[in-house]
Amino acid sequence: MLWVQIGLCLNMSCSNFLEGNLENQIDFLQKIFKEHFPRIPFPSQVREQDLVSILGYLVRHLDPLMSLSKQVSAMQNEQLEEIRKLLQTAYVSGHGIELESASQGHACISSEERNEAKSRGADLLFGELIVEGVDRALDVLHLCAADAKVFCDLGMGLGKFAMQAFFQFPNIEKAIGIEMARSRFKLGVDALRRLAQDLPDEFTLEINDEDSVILWDRKGRSLEFRCGDLFDCTDGVEQADVLICETHFSSEIMSKLISFLEKMKPSSRVLTFENLSNHVKETPLQFEQLAVNVEWEDRFPTTWNKTGHHFFLWKKK
Ligand SMILES: C[S@@+](CC[C@H](N)C(=O)[O-])C[C@H]1O[C@@H](n2cnc3c(N)ncnc32)[C@H](O)[C@@H]1O
């Protein structure tokens, strides 16, 4: 238990620790020593170069936890192996789209597309949660996709997040992703097409029209990619148990977004890029932030920050 406490304490404070000034760093280490190694006197004089030796002492004593942490990440990797394979079939083997990089999602956008989005008040800013980030966001401590029937991604990009949710959680009966940039939507549709082509015993493709394509599995579950403005996805917002809105909006659009999200069902969960509570409306916010997400250390690995970006996770009241 001691190791767990110190390990958590060190891990959670690591970024603060590295950014802090010497005085705070010494203060932090002194507290750990006082609490966990009361019989070892903390040195009265500590220079900057001594910090590494002191950390080294802690790390050596943390060894049991370090090996536990390696085992846990190996277990997590094993669990995600199947999902990675399916995403690779869909995205990588078809178009060489990398799972850990957003470069193709950036490169496909034309200036006309960007200008058109701007004229509609939208921002095509791009970046994705990577496989580990999606896994963490949807886990039982966070958005709890394990009890969701309907999942929706507003601003799906290439659709990787929605596809991972669909594959990782067989309880999800219906997943919808909507994207305004047609070039990104098309890359997503190519991925659906490839799955249906390569795994014909498992999936079939339904092409409704140029704005909607659905992948069906043998159990009648559906993964639909739509091209359009997320504000038109009322059915997705009203039905979703878990909603993703990892999308940037100008502050003028934020109150429109909040009113739109207020159509969600009670107790459904949503991830947002923006902090909803920074955009106060006349009426009180109908979302409470998940307790696990209040700390800035609650981060999710993304294409632009592999150690994790802090998104905001809410439960509809
Ligand atoms: C940051 S990406 C998120 C990709 C993916 N959901 C993820 O989290 O990994 C946000 C996406 O939202 C799209 N977008 C922005 N405004 C939109 C709107 N009004 N309607 C639909 N899509 C929009 C952008 O083009 C971009 O692809």
169 C-alpha to ligand 1 centroid (Å) = 22
Residues 77-80: contacts with CB under 8 Å, at least 24 apart: 79/135, 80/131, 80/132, 80/135
Q: What is the model's pLDDT at position 103?
A: 94
Q: What is the model's pLDDT at position 220?
A: 98
184 C-alpha to ligand 1 centroid (Å) = 9
Q: What is the model's pLDDT at position 175?
A: 98
- Please identify, by atom number, the ligand 1 atom nearest to the C-alpha of residue 121: 19
d(CA 298, CA 311) in angstroms, rounded, equals 8
Question: Residue 185, SS3?
Answer: helix
Q: Which residues line ligand 1 (CB under 6 A)?
A: 122-129, 153, 155-157, 161, 178-181, 184, 229-230, 244, 246-247
Amino acid occupying residue 186: K
230 C-alpha to ligand 1 centroid (Å) = 9
Q: What is the model's pLDDT at position 12?
A: 46
Here the tokens at position 107 are 């490169």
- Please identify, by atom number, the ligand 1 atom nearest to the C-alpha of residue 184: 27
27 C-alpha to ligand 1 centroid (Å) = 43
Q: What is the DSSP string of 288-303?
A: EE-GGGSSTT--B-BS
- Please identify, by atom number, the ligand 1 atom nearest to the C-alpha of residue 133: 9
- Please identify, by atom number, the ligand 1 atom nearest to the C-alpha of residue 302: 9
Residue-range domain boundaries for the chain: 2-61, 81-316
Do 97 and 91 meet the contact criterion of CB atoms below 8 Å apart? yes
CATH 3.40.50.150 for domain 81-316:
yes
Q: Using most ligand atoms within 8 A of CB, pick from 91, 152, 179, 304 the residue to mutate for ligand 1.
A: 179
147 C-alpha to ligand 1 centroid (Å) = 25
What is the enclosing helix (H) or strand (E) of 154?
strand 150-154
Q: What is the model's pLDDT at position 17?
A: 61
Q: Using most ligand atoms within 8 A of CB, pick from 143, 179, 247, 252 the residue to mutate for ligand 1.
A: 247
Of all protein residues, whose CA lies closest to atom 27 belonging to ligand 1? Answer: 157
Question: Tens of pLDDT along the chain (317 residues)?
Answer: 444 455 555 554 555 565 668 888 888 888 888 877 788 888 899 888 788 788 777 777 766 666 667 777 888 888 899 999 999 999 998 778 999 999 999 999 999 999 999 999 999 999 999 999 999 999 999 999 999 999 999 999 999 999 999 999 999 999 999 999 999 999 999 999 999 999 999 999 999 999 999 999 999 999 999 999 999 999 999 999 999 999 999 988 999 999 999 999 999 999 999 999 998 777 899 999 999 999 998 999 999 999 999 999 999 99
Q: What is the model's pLDDT at position 3?
A: 46
Q: What is the model's pLDDT at position 277?
A: 94
57 C-alpha to ligand 1 centroid (Å) = 46
- Please identify, by atom number, the ligand 1 atom nearest to the C-alpha of residue 230: 20
Q: Using most ligand atoms within 8 A of CB, pick from 87, 180, 187 the residue to mutate for ligand 1.
A: 180
Q: How many CB atoms within 10 Å of residue 150?
A: 19
155 C-alpha to ligand 1 centroid (Å) = 3
